[in-house]
Chain A
């Protein structure tokens, strides 16, 4: 069966510090991978998605970047965090066929102080 791992679960970081969130998927190959953010009182905002190694599409210009160094690994990074980067970050994967929808990770609560 397929599983998705996302860590850490919670993170408190000072403004200006770097960020690295990691997501890995097991039990499948060549998945579509996604990073979403849920800010307080708001819906799910797509940040990045990737259809293959090294292929990253950015949906919202911002202080974050993403990388996919391996087929089942997706990393969300920032060089210098802003207060507005606080939120709940979710990694997700999807099979090639759309009808299966997304499977989400358990999320990371990031608080920038």
Chain B
């Protein structure tokens, strides 16, 4: 049973515009969330995180929003750059857990 879902397998955005990647989860015990970026044939790299005590976290061009009541989080990239083209995974865990649960990923293409 997929506890973390990314319903959009792919997304295309023009350079300079905003990219919005979405993620939904089902387990109300999840209270820590991560976004990872992955290039082909490489391991994922950590991008940004948020805990359930916050509803927003910013790091440069990247902002993650958390809506606990809707069990939904989103990653905003502004402005989008061609180098942002990659697969993005969201992940969630309970603070007491031993593992993160990953979504299936969204492939972002930023068109120059």
Give the B-binding residues of A (Cβ under 8 A).
6, 32, 34, 36, 42-46, 49, 51, 57, 59, 88, 90, 92, 98-99, 101-107, 109
Total B residues in contact with A, Cβ cutoff 8 Å: 25
Asked if B89 and A46 sit within 8 Å, CB to CB, the answer is no
Asked if B42 and A44 sit within 8 Å, CB to CB, the answer is no
Give the A-binding residues of B (Cβ under 8 A).
6, 32, 34, 36, 41-46, 49, 51, 89, 91, 93, 95, 97-105
In the complex, the chain B residue whose C-beta lies closest to that of A45 is: B102
Asked if B49 and A101 sit within 8 Å, CB to CB, the answer is yes
The list of the 4 closest CB pairs from A to B, nearest first, reads A104-B43, A43-B104, A44-B102, A101-B34
Chain A positions within 8 Å of B34 at CB level: 101-102
Bound Cα distance from A105 to B46, whole angstroms = 12
Shortest C-beta distance, A61 to chain B (Å), equals 15
In the complex, the chain A residue whose C-beta lies closest to that of B49 is: A101
Q: List 25 A-B contacts (CB under 8 A).
A: A6-B43, A42-B104, A43-B6, A43-B89, A43-B102, A43-B104, A43-B105, A44-B89, A44-B102, A44-B105, A49-B98, A51-B98, A59-B99, A90-B43, A90-B44, A92-B43, A98-B93, A99-B32, A99-B49, A101-B91, A101-B100, A102-B36, A102-B46, A107-B43, A109-B41
Chain A positions within 8 Å of B49 at CB level: 99, 101
Shortest C-beta distance, B79 to chain A (Å), equals 25
Asked if B104 and A104 sit within 8 Å, CB to CB, the answer is no
Asked if B46 and A49 sit within 8 Å, CB to CB, the answer is no
